[in-house]
Structure 1
């Protein structure tokens, strides 16, 4: 059942996001759009509530409980950036906004980008492991939470693999092919209201 809730939350994330952007740009209702976009994190609240109810009801933690913790960690760490990413594209496509800024391709600009993304992954790891530890503590029964310890290892392996990109772009920065110009790193776009 929890796997279905995780899938529903992922679908719900994109539906609420699409509804917020549609209200903002297609219906020209910026307040309604802002309200709906603020509701995007409520999807995470639904997932954590379902997970806690399942464990407090005597359920034994399994793969899906760990997946829920990982999903919450990544959703919190990357959710705002995903909303901003979608907003830029929606504004460009439907409201005449500027084209989205592509990620840098070369040099230290690319290395900085990769370190920022790694920083988000580290936040996701910390949140996911924190939720796992909270579930282990809440249940208080090692036999019922054994699967959650394995998830801490999985999340740590993902973070270690993720570190390859920023380290490699720092030590061996990518360079344009001969004859190509290195694009100037654009300034951060102003936040939309």
Structure 2
């Protein structure tokens, strides 16, 4: 039986899967353009879309955090308290890494001294001057944090699968989209 209170609300699930999709796209797009010839329209276009999705991610994460603090339901965890604590720490780390990654992305772009905009709709000006000499460091940190997000998100996904297939609990089902879960037991 699958009661609404046993699952996360629709908006929380939407935020979760939208964040996952954007993170995967952002990571993949950065690695794809590295293999494209510099200065080509495809590379510049992919970078532009990456930047626009980075701005969208910033808005998504802020709204997601506000929703997590002030709205949404949180189904009761059916795991050992130590596992629940580990899960909360992992979620906190993911949120922190996403916020740091967004800040690094903005700082890196501003340090490059190139204007950027949101899907061509409006520019995002630098609120302060950033030393161009720091762009290599910022770029390196941006890349390192991207890998940390991917690794932690991968562990998060593996933990959900472990809960479902090994522990046999409802952890995975609570976050699946749709009204009926394909993994219903």
Greater per-residue helix proportion: 1
Larger Rg: 1
* TM-score normalised according to structure 2 size: 0.31
